[in-house]
Amino acid sequence: MKCLGCYKKIEKNEYCLSCRKKLFDGKRVSTLLEFDKPKAENMTMYNEHSKRMSISGVQLKYSLKLNGNKLELCETNGQYIIKPIPTADHFEMMEDAPENEHLTMQIASQIFNIKTAHNALICFKDGTPAYITRRFDVKGDGTKYIQEDFAQITNRTKETHGESYKYEGSYLEIGELIKKYVPASMIASENFFKVILFNYILSNGDAHLKNFSLVRNDFGEMELSPSYDLMSTIIHTPGERDTALDLFEKDHESEYYATYGHYGRTEFIEFAKRLGIVEVRYMRVINEFVENESSVYDFIQNSSLSNNSKGSFITSFKSRVKRFS
């Protein structure tokens, strides 16, 4: 069988040692939770024992903490976030949402060396899967790192900028703020570029302002936080825009865009240049995606997505990579 964290083959139905270390500081935590998934009958229990942290579209998130080696719902001092299968009629293949996020996060970290929040699949008492992730802003002693997302940093709120405040601005605007606030900005800019390209090639059309954050490290310096909320959203919302934000202002005026109606190599090269990344570095990043195409297919095939979702994951990935080769 497979580890529900990293897909590695293992003997027993549990998280492998490496995932246990990353997620639970080595504790033997079961892949099965002791409580049921949220449903009408136990909604009161969920509402009483867990504060709804935020709703990004339809994905509800709940807070968990580790008590001994058991995960429990909690209101305060959460160490983990759990996302059950969302109940939303107008989206497609929602039962695959937890594995979609887990798979996309694992492809990011294992194939493309993108620093991500630690994550895995976990099952409710009845066996229904959910996505679980460890909060990177919580330290071992329970205190928190200072973290701000780019809606906060750019002072955009529902009150000041309306309902779609998270979808305002451009990725270049984020990039410029990274240069301003992060002392090691060369590395951060390159990592940021890689994540924007990853989102595009993996069809994550919902990478909005709140999905990027700066976090103050142990040395008191700001750095780009590990990536989170990565998923191939096109599986659930096939008609969506390619990107949640534009790369930069007037990016639609390039000849390639005018001809094909979508971004390609040209726009991403221009984006990288504006981030201040030198050619040899951005070309290495772009080529990494083309060169690792077959590893991505292996991960998708080896995942626990339904065959339908595997199909659309592969089809959309293939067509995006083609825009770069």
Instruction: List residues near Zn ion by CB under 5 A.
Output: 3, 5-6, 16, 19
Minimum separation from the CB atom of position 104 to Zn ion (A): 16
> Which C-beta is closer to Zn ion: that of 7 or that of 150?
7
DSSP 111: I
Cα distances (angstroms) measured from residue 51 to each of 38, 46, 63, 145, 157: 13, 8, 7, 20, 21
Of 110 and 254, the one with the shorter C-beta distance to Zn ion is 110
Write down the least CB distance from residue 180 to Zn ion, Å: 38
In whole angstroms, the minimum distance from the beta carbon of 2 to Zn ion comes to: 8
Nearer to Zn ion, 107 or 172 (CB): 107
Residue 123 C-beta: closest distance to Zn ion, Å:
15
- For the bound state, the minimum distance from the C-beta of residue 16 to Zn ion, rounded and expressed in Å, comes to 3
Rg (CA), the chain: 20
- Cβ contacts of residue 308 below 8 Å, gap of 6+? 93
Q: Give strand ranges (E) for the chain.
A: 55-56, 59-60, 62-67, 70-73, 80-83, 119-123, 129-134, 147-149, 213-216, 222-224
- DSSP secondary structure letters along 14-57: S--HHHHHHHHTT----SB-SSPPP-GGGHHHHHHHS----EET
Nearest CB to Zn ion, comparing residues 120 and 285: 120
Comparing CB distances to Zn ion, the nearer of 6 and 222 is 6
